[in-house]
Structure formats: C-alpha cells, structure tokens
C-alpha cells in the first residue's frame, strides 16, 4: 500500500490523472500482480543500452512509447514487438517518434520503455479492470483480453472486495474460464495465480478511494502463472490521501480487525469474522452437531442444509451482518459460530449461537457471545435480541449472566426473547 501511495502522490503532485505505464505496472506489482522487467529510457541511445542489457537474459524485447498524455499507445503506433538486437531497438524508438509526430504532432514523447518480450505459446490473454458505476461504485471486470476485447465481449463483473471464492466465481462466469481449465494438449492455467491477481486488484480498490479506472490488458495466463504485459490507471488527484477503506464500495470490506486467539479449557481456538470460503467447513461441522442441538438452534427439526442456504450463511454484507467462526487452531476445523443480523439503521440485531456438540461445556459459546456483544457496541447497535426455546436452559442462563432481560414471546408460548440494551 505504501509503495502504491507514493506513486499516486507523485502523479497527483504533477497535476496528472493518468499514470504512465511504468508507474501503473509498479503500482499493480506492489499488490502482487507480476509484471515483466521494464527499463525506462530517456533517449534513443538509452533504448539501445537497455535493450542490450535485457537481451542478455531474453531472446527479444519490446519498445513502447512513454507518454504522460497518451494512454493507448497502440493507437499512435507506439509499440514495437519482437526486437532481437539493440540496433533494432534503437530503430524502433526512432520509428515510434516518427509515427507520433505524424499522427499527434502536438504530443511530445517523454521517453520510451524497454521490456523483455514475454513469449508464452499456450497462454490465454485476459483482462482485469476496474471502473466506477454510478449505482454500485467500484466494480471489477474479468474476462478475455487482447486487442479485440470489445468485439469478443466475454467478461464478468464482480463487486469488491473479493476473496478466493468470489474471484473464482468471476472466472467461472466467463467462456474463457472453461478454456483456462485446460483442453486437448493445453495444460490448465494456474487458477491460483489468476485468483491472486483478482484479489490484489480488489485490495487496491479497497485501499484507494482515488482510483477512477484501471485496465490490465493483456494479463497472460498459463500453467506457469500470470504476467501483466500492460497496465493503465487513472486516479482522482484530489483523493490520493483519503483513508481506507474506500467509502464508495457497495459491499463493506472484510472486518479483519476482529480476529483473535482464544485459550479455553486447555484448547486453543482462532476466532475471526466468517469468509465465503468457510462454506467448505460446514459439512464436517454439521456432521458433529446432534439433531437436538440443531433443533435448539433453528427452533425446529432440520436435516438438510442446501448449498444455497450455506452460501447465504457465509457470503455476508458486513454492513448489516456479521458472523464469527471459532476454528480449532491445530486443525482449522470449524468449532462454533456466533452470528448477528442487524436491521438497516442498526437499531437492533438478532443474534444466534451454535457450538459443535462435542465441544460444548468448555466456554466457547460464552466467548462467541461476548465477541458478538463487543462488536455490537463498536458498531453502535442499539440492542441485540435472541429468540430461544424455553427448554434451552443453558442459553437462557448464559443470557442472564450477560445481563439480558428475558421475556415470553408475545405470540409463541414455547419461546422466549432475550434482549440486551447495548448503547
């Protein structure tokens, strides 16, 4: 974040909105997106020198126009590929300057960039992008890239912040996502590397409200991983120092500050907010919950938990809902969950707890409820409530110890309502 912030501040200080290609590549590289080695050259002679240096470890180089004004270099003939010698690189730089003068005589080149030519025969060209939607704020684009991206029109839109599951959903929503899985003699592309690139872009959006638009095209992807051959970033110079998280996000970012370790009866647990990826932990967790404990939690008998239900329990809008999972520190297995679902104005929230049947009696439910209450206080939620079966004496007793008031449910004689005024 600090590296990208320094780049954005420099651009803003010069009164610019558009980053140069080297600046944009340095920013995305700071967020874990690989880029080829690039050397900035201020003259034709420096282009030849840079090419000679890069050709010691690469078969060919690429020379590109460096301009603080021109963002789409190919439109003005500002890119020359597959250059095998330093002399040819110098010629390419001169030809770029000639074409620029002919097509845009009012624009002056700020120099050139020289980078190693990345040749990956079986790589797929992808695009990663970001722009501002008037309703949803920052949105992420993923799909088939290259110069024909608008014609192919194979893209998916996602709302940041992303994690591995949500990034994977964006990949799977495209036709090129099926090609990335491999076919015939083509090995599958490194899915983890593509997901990491999407997550890196997502985190940059969370960290910087100043981002206006971003394009990484093409992002080459194959079995070896990914590499961004070009990048374009536009910022709002007035907002480079605004703090994170980005207030324009439609979905509140993951509340990472609410993670902690817990020692309880000689056992160690890690408590943190739930993530969409935690859906994979539910089957083993539910298998260790007795039918009676499920009935006490859901207020009726329940045997089946459809996939869509589990997704609703794990893919939350943290603005209104929170769930804390307790994980066994040594195995990572799900041990318990404390949940709070709030109304839109945060006047009240409904809580629920579920601890694995084999781990009850060790204080884990107590700690999860305390975490829920502490979170409600921090979020200035007026009160929290829980609907409890009258026979659930353990839960009712714990609520009384926390200071909840207990009242009979107004319409269901077998239920009680526990209420705690938080403010």
Largest CA distance in the chain: 89
Helix orientation angle between 393-402 and 364-378, rounded to the nearest 10 degrees: 50
Beta strands in 96-160 (DSSP E): 111-116, 124-133, 137-144, 155-158
pLDDT for res 254 = 87
Q: From residue 284, how far is each of 181, 236, 313 by CA, in Å?
A: 28, 47, 15
Name 270's bridge partners.
261, 327
Q: Is the dihedral of CA 270, 275, 276, 277 positive or negative?
A: negative
Residue 218: partners with Cβ closer than 8 Å, 6 or more residues away: 125, 126, 127, 145, 146, 228, 229, 230
Q: What is the pLDDT of residues 249-290, one digit of tens each?
A: 998 888 888 999 998 888 899 999 999 889 999 999 999 999
pLDDT for res 121 = 82
Q: How many CB atoms lie within 10 A of CB 142?
A: 28
CA separation for the pair 200, 337 (Å, rounded)? 28
Helix (H, G, I), strand (E, B) or coil at 406: strand
Q: Where are the alpha helices (DSSP H) in 190-245?
A: 191-207
Residue 186: partners with Cβ closer than 8 Å, 6 or more residues away: 122, 179
pLDDT for res 25 = 95
CA separation for the pair 257, 271 (Å, rounded)? 11
Strands 111-116 and 79-83: unpaired
Q: Is the peptide bond before 273 cis (omega within 30 degrees of 0)?
A: no
pLDDT for res 170 = 96
- Please, what are the averages of pLDDT over each run of 10 residues along the chain (423 residues)? 97 94 95 94 92 91 88 81 93 91 83 89 92 95 83 89 92 93 86 97 97 95 94 96 93 89 89 93 95 90 87 89 95 96 92 95 93 94 95 94 94 94 85
Residue 54: partners with Cβ closer than 8 Å, 6 or more residues away: 37, 39, 61, 114, 115, 116
Instruction: Report long-range pairs for 172-180 (Cβ below 8 Å, ≥24 apart).
Output: 174/142, 174/143, 174/144, 175/144, 176/124, 176/126, 176/143, 176/144, 179/124, 180/124, 180/221
CA separation for the pair 167, 177 (Å, rounded)? 12
CA angle at 268 for the pair 263 and 271, rounded to the nearest 5°? 85
pLDDT for res 184 = 78
pLDDT for res 51 = 93
CA separation for the pair 368, 335 (Å, rounded)? 11
Q: Are 58 and 13 in contact (CB under 8 A)?
A: no
Place of tokens 């709030």: 342
Task: Quote the tokens at residue 16.
Answer: 């610019």
Q: Is the dihedral of CA 204, 206, 208, 209 positive or negative?
A: positive
Would you give the distance in Å from CA 23 to the centre of its chain? 22
What domains can be seen in the chain, in order of their start residue?
1-17+28-34+120-245 (3.30.470.20), 37-117 (3.30.1490.20), 256-421 (3.40.630.30)
Using alpha carbons, select from 233, 204, 197 the residue that is nearest to residue 20: 233
pLDDT for res 120 = 84
Q: From residue 195, how far is each of 154, 168, 169, 317 by CA, in Å?
A: 18, 6, 10, 21
Using alpha carbons, select from 25, 29, 22 the residue that is nearest to residue 68: 22
Q: What is the pLDDT of residues 137-168, one digit of tens each?
A: 999 999 998 877 777 788 999 999 998 989 99
pLDDT for res 409 = 92
CA angle at 31 for the pair 174 and 164, rounded to the nearest 5°? 40
pLDDT for res 76 = 80
């Amino acid at each position: 974040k600090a590296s990208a912030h320094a780049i954005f501040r420099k651009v803003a200080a010069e009164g610019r909105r558009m980053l140069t290609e080297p600046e944009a590549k340095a920013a995305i590289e700071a967020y874990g997106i690989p880029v080829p080695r690039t050397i900035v050259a201020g003259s034709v002679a420096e282009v030849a020198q840079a090419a000679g240096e890069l050709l010691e470890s690469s078969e060919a180089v690429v020379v590109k126009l460096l301009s603080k004004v021109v963002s789409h270099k190919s439109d003005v003939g500002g890119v020359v590929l597959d250059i095998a010698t330093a002399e040819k690189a110098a010629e390419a730089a001169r030809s770029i300057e000639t074409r620029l003068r002919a097509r845009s005589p009012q624009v002056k080149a700020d120099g050139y960039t020289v980078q190693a030519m990345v040749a990956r025969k079986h790589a797929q060209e992808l695009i990663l992008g970001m722009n501002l939607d008037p309703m949803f704020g920052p949105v992420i684009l993923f799909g088939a890239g290259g110069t024909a991206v608008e014609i192919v029109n194979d893209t998916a839109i996602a709302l940041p912040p992303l994690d591995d599951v949500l990034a994977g959903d964006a990949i799977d929503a495209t036709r090129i996502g099926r090609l990335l899985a491999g076919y015939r003699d083509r090995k599958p592309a490194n899915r983890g590397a593509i997901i990491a690139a999407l997550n890196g872009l997502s985190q940059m959006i969370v960290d910087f409200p100043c981002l206006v638009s971003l394009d990484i095209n093409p992002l080459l992807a194959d079995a070896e991983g990914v590499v961004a051959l070009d990048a374009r970033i536009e910022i709002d110079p007035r907002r480079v120092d605004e703090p994170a998280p980005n207030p324009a996000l439609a979905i509140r970012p993951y509340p990472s500050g609410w993670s902690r370790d817990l020692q309880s009866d000689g056992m160690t647990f890690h408590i943190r907010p739930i993530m969409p990826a935690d859906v994979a932990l539910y089957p083993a967790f539910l298998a260790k919950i007795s039918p009676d404990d499920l009935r006490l939690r859901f207020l009726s008998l329940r045997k089946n938990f459809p996939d869509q239900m589990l997704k609703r329990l794990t893919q939350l809008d943290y603005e209104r809902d929170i769930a804390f999972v307790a994980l066994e520190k040594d195995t990572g297995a799900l041990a318990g969950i404390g949940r709070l679902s709030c109304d839109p104005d945060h006047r009240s929230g409904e809580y629920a707890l579920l601890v694995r049947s084999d781990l009850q009696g060790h204080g884990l439910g107590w700690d999860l409820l305390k975490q829920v209450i502490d979170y409600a206080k921090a979020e200035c939620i007026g009160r929290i409530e829980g609907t409890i079966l009258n026979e659930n004496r353990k839960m009712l007793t714990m609520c009384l110890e926390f200071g909840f008031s207990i009242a009979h449910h107004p319409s269901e004689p077998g239920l009680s309502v526990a209420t705690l005024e938080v403010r």
